[in-house]
Amino acid sequence: MSGYAAPLAEMRFALDEIAGLPEIAKLPGYEAVSADVVDAVLGEAAKLAGNVIAPTNRTGDIEKSRLENGVVRTPAGFKEAYRAYAGGGWSALSAPPEHGGQGLPIALDTAVNEMWMSANFAWSLCPMLSISAWELLEQLGTPAQQRLYLGRLISGEWTGTMNLTEPQAGSDLGALRTRAVREGDHYRITGQKIFITWGEHDMAGNIVHLVLARLPDAPAGTKGISLFVVPKFLVNDDGSLGARNDLRCVSLEHKLGIHASPTCVMSYGDDGGAVGTLVGEENRGLEAMFIMMNVARLHVGLQGVAIGERAYQQARTFAHTRIQGKPTGAKDGIGLPIKHHPDVRRMLLSMRAASEASRALAYYAAGATDRARRLPDAAQRARAQARLDLLTPVVKAWCTDQGVETASTGIQVHGGVGFIEETGAAQHWRDARIAPIYEGTNGIQANDLVGRKLLRDGGAAVADLIAEMRRDQSRLDGHDADGHLARGVDALEHATKGLLASAANDLSAALAGAEPYLRLLGTVAASWLLARGAAAATRRLKAGAGDRLFLEAKIATARFHAEHRLAQAPALLPAVAGGRTVMGFDLDLI
């Protein structure tokens, strides 16, 4: 397996030209975010990712995490990497200063998190979940919960998890059975949770579990779910650790990939009930958990970006060094690397374009997060939040699908040796495959996009996005000369109107077209952002600013994506409209 080097030039370009970091840095609270600060943060993060975390990726996949006498032992180097991460203040990068954070933009933190995910996908899941946990407690935690947990989660001294899934429930959270019984100022939690990522480990002093459970008198279904903080070790009023709570990891799942990430079966209340405290209001736990889930969904989308980048780097290194066959036009007897073969060149470009497109979409959403939180004008904040809400399921689903496809193409570039574990190419695909399933499968994301986001406002958020795309077409400096973006936007508008009309008569048929609609929206939006980037690169070239080869590559990559991906987007229209065919098919024949 090749090493990892953070693509700093790509990241900085996407931050500046796609996320709009220079404008974000002018928002209230971000005044200290200078260009020098950004460069320093990215540069130091790249060193930690490449030199400390990345070397644990392959060894972690081989060693795996293991359960020994109730304790999960992580692979060699994991604890040391985590100590370097937490000790360097990286866990606090975007956290609020009043709770010990550094208060830097979400967009910048997104680029840094991409580095951890590319360096070691399995390892990065632990800090990712901690970020989601402190985001939830920062918004909904009681003063006591914030005092006891928030600072330690932000510092990385403790880590966090989310406990949703149960054996009989899966994604149907309304069917969960874990119980919570009131006992004075706390609750006793009993039940079993499965698929709990980093539910037990040896990298931090305490693990703060966010657990969904049902009160004895709760209504049935999702309206009867409450949310609780349930720490591995009870916490005394002075913040010191108390007795071990009544919870334990009873087994680890044996998975296709992310072998080093312990996926735990957690048992609560084997000896009378684990002690937990309520987050938010009783019976409104799912609503509270969505704060954590939406943060996690954006991070999972970023995982698609990260694993695609890592697979691309590996394939590129192989293609530059592997000499095999005689490319068309080469002289007899001259051995050239396989990158000279036209189809290998095409595959590498497809990987590069997919990585840049998914990065553009993920960073753009991160910029929308900063604007939704920091813009002085309430109406502008609301517009940014609407854009973020719309794009969250798209980032999660579209970017993770891109990551799986890119990792698969990486195996193909290697040929037969890509199918052999020793090269490491297969690990990227095995690891990537979980991301379309995490945090609500991509089909659930498509249902959310159509069933909630599109229908909730009658398509207003999508219409606002389409209008902005159309306004941009005249400012793209000729980068849609072939009209691929214009046709893609037309197709998106047509599909949106069609789904709104279809849903009014047959919601099931509309939802059957939701997945191709999400693919259409993601493809058009990402290509639009790449075209924006190409126009920015052209302006820089004309001004003589920046590296010429890098900027020309940005323009060529956007053109490749438009020709090979965006041009196919209008062909999704029949699938979007084909929900009645799906719903009309005899289930016994499927």
- Residue range 176-191: average pLDDT? 96
Kindly report, residue by residue over 359-373, the tens digit of the pLDDT: 999 999 999 999 999
Q: What is the CATH number of the domain that holds 234?
A: 2.40.110.20
CA–CA gap between residue 217 and residue 53 (Å, rounded): 47
Per the model's pLDDT, the better-predicted residue between 118 and 481 turns out to be: 118
CB 547 within 8 A of CB 9: yes
| Segment 142-157 mean pLDDT | 97
Q: Locate 16 and state its tokens.
A: 């500046």
User: With 70 as the cut, is the pLDDT of residue 428 above it?
Assistant: yes
**Lowest-confidence range among 241-250, 401-410, 471-480?**
471-480
**534 belongs to a structural domain:** yes
pTM: 0.97
Q: Which of 230, 261, 283 is the last residue of a domain?
A: 283
Does 509 or 168 have the greater pLDDT score? 509
**Which residue in 347, 349, 364 sits closest to 399, CA to CA?**
364
Question: Over the range 138-171, which residues count as b (16 or more CB within 10 Å of their CB) and which as e?
Answer: bebbeeebbebbbbbbbbbebbbbbbbbbeebee
State the DSSP code for 74: P
**Which of 237, 253, 283 lies at the terminal end of a domain, its last residue?**
283
- The answer to whether 300 and 433 have CB atoms below 8 angstroms apart is no
Is 70 among the domain residues?
yes
Give the DSSP per-residue string, 515-531. Answer: HHHHHHHHHHHHHHHHH
Confidence of residue 170 (pLDDT cuts 50, 70, 90): confident
192 bridge partner residues: 267
* Residues above pLDDT 70, as percent of the chain: 100
Could you report the per-residue pLDDT of 294-333, keeping only the tens digit for each? 999 999 999 999 999 999 999 999 999 999 887 777 777 6
- Domain presence at residue 78: yes
* Distances in whole angstroms, Cα of residue 413 to Cα of each of 342, 409, 423: 12, 6, 12
Whole-number mean pLDDT of the chain?
96
In a domain, 224, yes or no: yes
Instruction: Please state, for a pLDDT cut of 90, what percent of the chain lies above it.
Output: 91
CA distance 134 to 157: 12
Question: What is the Cβ-side half-sphere exposure of residue 87, based on CA atoms within 13 angstroms?
Answer: 8
Is 315 within the bounds of a domain?
no
pLDDT at 168: 84
- Amino acid making up residue 305: V
The pLDDT value given to residue 169:
81
Q: What angle do CA 337, 342, 345 make, to 5 degrees?
A: 70
Distance CA 139, CA 382 (A): 18
Is 80 exceeded by the pLDDT of residue 174? no
Token representation of residue 228: 């609780």
Q: Which structural domain, as residue segments, surrounds residue 164?
A: 55-88+120-283
Say which residue the tokens 């180097």 belong to: 77
Please report which helix (H) or strand (E) contains residue 152, including its range.
helix 151-155
Range 428-451 average pLDDT: 97
Confidence band, pLDDT 50/70/90 cuts, at residue 564: very high
Measure CA 204 to chain center: 23
Q: How many domains does the chain have?
A: 2
Query: CB neighbours (10 Å) of residue 497?
Result: 13
Find tokens 């480990």 and name the residue.
201
Summarize the confidence of residues 207-230 as an average pLDDT. 95
Calculate the alpha carbon distances from 42 to 8, 33, 72, 374, 513 in Å. 7, 13, 32, 22, 40
> First CA to last CA across the chain, in angstroms?
41
pLDDT surpasses 70 at 136 = yes
d(CA 446, CA 449): 5
**81 found inside a domain:** yes
Least confident residue range of 30-44, 142-156, 327-341: 327-341
Instruction: State which of 283, 311, 342 marks the end of a domain.
Output: 283
The predicted structure's pLDDT at residue 333: 65
- Give me the mean pLDDT over the 439-449 stretch: 96
Say which residues have a Cβ less than 8 Å from residue 506's Cβ, sequence separation at least 6. Answer: 579, 580, 583
* DSSP for residue 423: G
| Range 327-344 average pLDDT | 83
On whether residue 366 sits in a domain, the answer given is no
pLDDT at position 82 is: 98
Closest to 67 in 3D by CA, of 224, 298, 262, 326: 262
Report which secondary-structure segment, H or E, holds 94. none
Instruction: Name the one residue in this structure whose structure tokens are 């293609």.
Output: 319
Residue positions annotated with a catalytic role: 439
Residue 555 has pLDDT above 90, yes or no: yes
pLDDT at 116 over 70: yes
| Segment 473-525, tens digit of pLDDT | 888 888 887 999 999 999 999 999 999 999 999 999 999 999 999 999 999 99
- pLDDT attached to residue 396: 98
Is residue 395 assigned to a domain? no
Report the alpha-carbon distance of residue 80 to residue 411 in Å, rounded. 31
Mean pLDDT value of segment 199-208: 98
Instruction: Report how far residue 420's alpha carbon sits from residue 424's, in angstroms, rounded to the nearest whole number.
Output: 8
Identify the burial level of 571 via C-beta atoms within 10 angstroms of its C-beta, where 0-12 means exposed, 13-18 middle and 19 or more buried. exposed
Q: What is the per-residue pLDDT for 6?
A: 98
Question: What is the C-alpha to C-alpha distance for residues 377 and 361, in angstroms, rounded to an integer?
Answer: 24
Q: How confident is the model at residue 130 (pLDDT cuts 50, 70, 90)?
A: very high
Per-residue pLDDT band for 589 (boundaries 50, 70, 90) equals confident
